């Protein structure tokens, strides 16, 4: 049995990344309606798949909210996607013949930052499969890192896993120390180093990120190679944090799967300045859509929301 909100506007916040896409439906007044989850939505790795994931996540969210699927033309979408900091991808997504009433597009980082600080000014450090820093202030936005697996992403899960494999290969050549880390990685991969090179030469950043927990496990056993990897990664992330803090954001949060593991490696001074994220990135996408609607209302002299 489906409810209907008639031809009333619905808002959706969408957070689309490399592994999943989350949609959150709310009324214009902020009442929660429902959520949906679908597959990968990073347009860098497939525009059509990303668009399908976005539409599917909203369809599931409508179902979760008990609303009809014919509501798409009433939906104003705040869409936050990985990769759209690249102008070519931003333009491709904006040229999409989407099924929504209207669409506002921003980066997943911007939405994560808006979510962490409930739409207010602030900064975030994201350390998951990749790594970066982002600052969103009234008069300035700043992105640091986010260089991708091949070119950087120091401190990230993929980088930590890659460094572990490099250490294993050096040890196998007797050009680096054999430690419990190299044993752990060998066991996990179930391969001799030569087979490893063949297998990993085409591995994805996610494959390498899956090795990161082994490095933290080795650190707990006092492994010097693992400790050096984490120290170098944490130092880079801390340097990003200090660049962000130099802009005096009211709040700074850390998000992403590796963040809690790295937290203890920061200086006490930095740890004291990190606050927990308050809302999720898909809620950040909703803060973004509402702010864009208000700007539009300001331009026309009408309340864009009330007009619906």
Position 240 contacts a copy of itself (CB under 8 A): yes
Q: Give rounded-to-5 percent helix, strand, coil for the chain.
A: 45, 20, 35
Looking at the Cβ atoms of 13 and 133, the one nearer to a copy of itself is 133
Check residue 147 for interaction with a copy of itself (CB under 8 A): yes
**Category of 157 on φ-ψ map: left (φ > 0), alpha (ψ -120 to 50) or beta:** alpha
Which residue matches tokens 């506002």? 104
| 3 state SS of 211 | coil
Long-range interactions of 251-254: CB distance < 8 A, separation 24+: 251/116, 251/117, 251/120, 251/121, 251/122, 251/123, 251/275, 252/122, 252/123, 252/124, 252/125, 253/116, 253/117, 253/122, 253/123, 253/124, 253/125, 253/277, 253/278, 254/124, 254/125, 254/126, 254/127
Residue 290: half-sphere exposure toward Cβ, Cα within 13 Å: 21
Q: Establish if 266 lies at the interface with a copy of itself (CB under 8 A).
A: no
Is position 190 an interface residue for a copy of itself (rule: CB under 8 A)?
no
Nearer to a copy of itself, 150 or 306 (CB): 150
What pairing do the DSSP bridges indicate for beta strands 21-26 and 102-107?
A: unpaired
CB atoms within 10 A of CB 178: 15
Q: Would you say 170 or 274 has its CB closer to a copy of itself?
A: 170
Which CB sits closer to a copy of itself, 7 or 174?
A: 174
Q: Is 173 near a copy of itself (CB under 8 A)?
A: yes
* Ranges within 196-225 binding a copy of itself (CB under 8 A): 197-198, 200-201
- Binding residues for a copy of itself, rule CB under 8 A, total 31
Looking at the DSSP bridge assignments, the partners of residue 253 are: 124
Among 151, 276, 300, 306, binds a copy of itself (CB under 8 A): 151
Indicate which single residue of 52, 183, 239, 308 sits in contact with a copy of itself (rule: CB under 8 A): 239
Instruction: Check residue 262 for interaction with a copy of itself (CB under 8 A).
Output: no
Grouping H, G, I as helix, E, B as strand and the rest as coil, residue 247 is: coil
Selected from 162, 229, 252, 285, the binder of a copy of itself by CB under 8 A is 162
Span of 53-61, 95-103, 190-198, 216-224 interacting with a copy of itself by CB under 8 A: 190-198
Other Cβ atoms closer than 10 A to 307: 11
236: contact with a copy of itself by CB under 8 A: yes
DSSP bridge pairs for 125: 133, 254
Q: Which of 66, 94, 166, 231 binds a copy of itself (CB under 8 A)?
A: 166
**Nearer to a copy of itself (CB atom), residue 95 or residue 151:** 151
Letters for 58-97 (x = contact with a copy of itself by CB under 8 A, - = none) are ---------------------------xxxx---------
What are the residues binding a copy of itself (CB under 8 A)? 44, 85-88, 144-148, 150-152, 162, 165-166, 169-170, 173-175, 194-195, 197-198, 200-201, 236, 239-240, 243
């Amino acid at each position: 049995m489906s409810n209907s909100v008639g031809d009333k506007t619905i808002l959706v916040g969408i957070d689309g990344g490399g592994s999943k896409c989350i949609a959150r439906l709310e009324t214009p007044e902020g009442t929660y309606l429902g959520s949906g989850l679908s597959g990968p939505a990073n347009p860098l790795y497939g525009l059509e798949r990303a668009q399908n994931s976005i539409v599917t996540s909203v369809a599931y969210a409508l179902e979760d909210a008990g609303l009809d699927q014919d509501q798409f033309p009433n939906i104003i979408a705040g869409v936050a996607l990985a990769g759209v900091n690249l102008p070519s991808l931003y333009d491709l997504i904006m040229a999409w013949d989407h099924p929504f009433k209207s669409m506002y597009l921003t980066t997943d980082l911007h939405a994560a930052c808006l979510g962490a600080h409930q739409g207010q000014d602030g900064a975030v450090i994201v350390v998951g499969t990749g790594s970066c820093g982002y600052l969103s202030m009234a008069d300035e936005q700043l992105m640091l890192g986010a260089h991708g697996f091949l070119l950087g992403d120091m401190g990230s899960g993929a980088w930590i896993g890659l460094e572990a494999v490099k250490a294993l290969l050096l040890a196998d050549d007797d050009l680096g120390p054999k430690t419990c880390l190299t044993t752990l990685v060998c066991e996990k991969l179930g391969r001799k180093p030569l087979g490893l090179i063949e297998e990993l030469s085409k591995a994805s950043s996610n494959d390498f990120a899956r090795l990161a927990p082994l490095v933290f496990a080795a650190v707990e056993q006092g492994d010097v190679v693992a400790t050096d990897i984490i120290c170098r990664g944490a130092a880079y992330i801390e340097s990003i944090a200090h660049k962000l803090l130099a802009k005096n954001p009211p709040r700074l949060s850390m998000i992403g799967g590796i963040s809690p593991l790295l937290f203890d490696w920061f200086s006490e001074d930095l740890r004291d300045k990190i606050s927990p994220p308050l809302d999720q990135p898909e809620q950040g996408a909703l803060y973004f859509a509402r702010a864009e609607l208000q700007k539009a209302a300001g331009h026309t002299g009408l309340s864009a929301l009330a007009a619906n």
